[in-house]
Chain A
Amino acid sequence: MVESTLGTGRDEVQFRYRDDEPVDHPAVTVDSFVEQSNAAAVRIEPGDDARALLPHLDHIQLVEVNFPVFGDGRGYSAARILREAGYAGELRAVGDVLVDQIAYMRRCGFDSFAPDKPIDEKDAEAAFARFPEVYQATVDARVPIWNLRHAGGSDA
């Protein structure tokens, strides 16, 4: 099969943690996005520099981050970089997205998931709920255990 299904049926969204209306048109590549000022959806491949999108964040509503193979973890950095820059639109993980990864992805700012193979809903729920506390301050709202421990205390 030719890999030309950018932003079409293959990427069916299985989990979405947002209330707004999804974007109704396919995502375009980072290269072409910069020249198509009317596009509101863009797709990042592992080799793309997420920072190329930073000047345009105010009119992006959907960023798809593609994981062609689960072991290629560049998309985690791309996601965090966008959230750190204040991007508030939908951030969707697409491709080889497996149950082992979704909790990490959520912590890096993804709020929708379109896995190639559907994930068992119960397994996904368990994955998200696996650890009650976290160590790292990332871009989700979870407060790291070390901040909870010292809440109200002096930082010095």
Chain B
Amino acid sequence: MHALADIADKYDRGYGHFTTRQNIQYNWIKLEDAGDILADLAKVEMHAIQTSGNCIRNISSDHFAGAAADEVIDPRPYAEILRQWSSFHPEFSYLPRKFKIAVIASERDRAAMRLHDIGINIVRNEAGEIGAAFYVGGGMGRTPMVAPLIREFVPLDQLVTYAEACLRVYNRYGRRDNKYKARIKILVHELGKDEYARQVEEEFAHLLGQGVEPPFAELKRIRTFFADPDFKTGLSSDIDESDPDFALWARRNTHAHKAPGYVSAVISLKPVGGIPGDASAAQMHVMADLAKEYSFDECRVMHTQNIVLPHVEIGRLHALWAKLVEADLAAPNLDTVEDIIACPGLDYCSLANARSIPVAQKISERFASTGKTAALGELKLKISGCINACGHHHAGHIGILGVDRKGTENYQLLLGGSEAEDTSLGKITGPGFDEAGIVDAVEKVTDLYLETREDGERFLDTYRRVGMEPFKEAIYG
């Protein structure tokens, strides 16, 4: 993180943008500096390989992996072995289109697993053996699809071989005539999941005889790199909530940990009125220092564009929070309406049709000023500035899609999406809005939710119970 901060200072405008790919993006670097930047990254064992092009991109995973109380197995060793296998893969570096793989191992899906080209859920079968459930053909973009289950259980010592079979069928038969139909979701959809699965099985049976699987000893070796840090025992789990600001942050921005006396603490990069996912070089240095001091020198980028310190002692949480406040990094809004995912939009992106960031800023300002954020509870709001859907608008409880309509920016509203274990795609409410109109419309649907909800219901639950009609009525009626 210190190195990332230095790059932001030296080559960019002093900040960076953390993305939904659990990566960082620099938007203002000079082409001629690229070589030097890569050299600086290499000094700290980082790189930018396979971050673009029609190849297998970085493998993403659960940001609470190895820490979450509800975890079945730690997914990281399996993500790591797939990372190795996919790096400079000679057969799969010129695929029909880019390819994204996510690996999780918990019943809670925090990685939008079924919205990836391949989503892998590491599971235990009835016999207690560990294996992988493969979901293939999900994605967002202009044709959003939820990946169907292709195989329920791939034994661990055949994981790479099965992935290889999935990719080979795609590389050979994925469409190359039209880049908008070239993702694997279109192949799986056009063939049907059963036929795709049949072809994969055939290739898999063949590849099992080709010796492509790494030795199982390698998986064991990788596991040692993900051993638990040296957790203290006998710690108290009590939180002193006498300071209400701290209590709110601690309640919202922490996640239950498997080790007693610890939590995962989320640093929100969504200050009210700020740019979602942006951090200054100074803030990055602070986060790096805090990771070292409070979380075994480890921090991670979340796909929600926040940063998590995975292993923090509950007893030291207040001290951590106080330092975050100083660095303007203590927004207490994880998973609330203010924790907006947004793509860079027209402000930074040459593909965008509309701006995303100002809409995100206005919405978070509106809800912060009316004080409704708390009442609304968990509400995932996601904004994309064009149909490529980098802001995941299809998967937001509330989604906003910016389009260009006859030269003016127009925003369409979607309701009912989810990227969690109950994956679903949002539906468009109706005619779009201008920038002020979309903020009002979001407020109207949330007001209706507050009036209509039953005990314990989140916005998404209420929407699923009552359907689209009442919401349409509230917006357009």
Contacts and interface: CB of A to CB of B under 8 A. Distances in A.
What is the interface of chain A mostly: helix, strand, loop, or mixed? loop
Nearest to B84: A135
Contacts of B90: 76, 103-108, 136, 138
B299 to A, nearest CB: 27
Given A84-B210, A131-B88, A137-B212, A72 B94 contact: yes
A135 B91 contact: no
B215 A137 contact: no
Interface stretch (B216-224, B324-332, B333-341): B216-224
Given A46-B176, A138-B90, A77 B168 contact: yes
Nearest to B53: A71
Q: How extensive is the interface on chain A, given as a class?
A: 20 to 34
A144 interface: yes
B94 A144 contact: no
B25 interface: no
A46 B54 CA distance: 17
Interface string A27-65: 000000000000000000010000000000000000000
A2 to B, nearest CB: 22
A156 B216 contact: yes
A77 to B, nearest CB: 5
A86 B85 CA distance: 23
Interface string B77-112: 000000011011111111100000000000000000
Contacts of A46: 176
B187 to A, nearest CB: 13
What is the interface of chain B mostly: helix, strand, loop, or mixed? loop
Given A84-B206, A137-B211, A137-B212, A73 B217 contact: no
A149 B93 CA distance: 25
Contact of B218 (A76, A107, A149): A149
Contacts, number: 79
Contacts of A137: 210-213
A155 B219 CA distance: 10
Contact of A76 (B85, B88, B171, B214): B171
B215 A155 contact: yes
B217 A154 contact: yes
A76 B217 contact: no
B215 A76 contact: no
Contacts of A104: 88, 90-91, 93
A18 interface: no
Interface in B178-232: 206, 210-218, 221
Given A71-B54, A73-B92, A76-B94, A153 B217 contact: yes
B43 interface: no
Given A71-B54, A76-B171, A150 B91 contact: no
Given A74-B172, A155-B215, A155-B216, A146 B91 contact: no
A147 interface: yes
Given A108-B91, A137-B212, A149-B218, A77 B84 contact: no
Contacts of B94: 70-73, 76, 101
A150 B218 contact: yes
Nearest to B83: A135
B217 A155 contact: yes
A146 B215 contact: yes
Contacts of A153: 215, 217
A136 B212 contact: yes
Nearest to B161: A137
B323 to A, nearest CB: 40
B221 A72 contact: no
B172 A77 contact: yes
Nearest to B87: A135
Contact of B171 (A73, A149, A155, A156): A73
B440 to A, nearest CB: 45
B414 to A, nearest CB: 33
A146 B88 contact: no
A92 interface: no
A80 B91 CA distance: 8
A134 interface: yes
Given A73-B54, A106-B90, 11 more contacts: A73-B92, A73-B93, A73-B171, A74-B172, A76-B91, A76-B92, A104-B93, A136-B212, A138-B90, A138-B212, A146-B215
30 contacts: A46-B176, A70-B94, A71-B94, A72-B176, A73-B94, A73-B95, A73-B171, A74-B176, A76-B91, A76-B93, A76-B94, A80-B91, A84-B206, A104-B88, A104-B91, A104-B93, A105-B90, A106-B90, A134-B88, A135-B84, A137-B211, A137-B213, A138-B91, A147-B214, A147-B215, A149-B217, A149-B218, A150-B217, A150-B218, A150-B221
Interface of A: 46, 70-74, 76-77, 80, 84, 101, 103-108, 131, 134-138, 144, 146-147, 149-150, 153-156
Interface of B: 54, 84-85, 87-95, 168, 171-172, 176, 206, 210-218, 221
6 closest A-B pairs by CB:
A73-B94, A107-B90, A104-B90, A146-B218, A150-B217, A146-B214
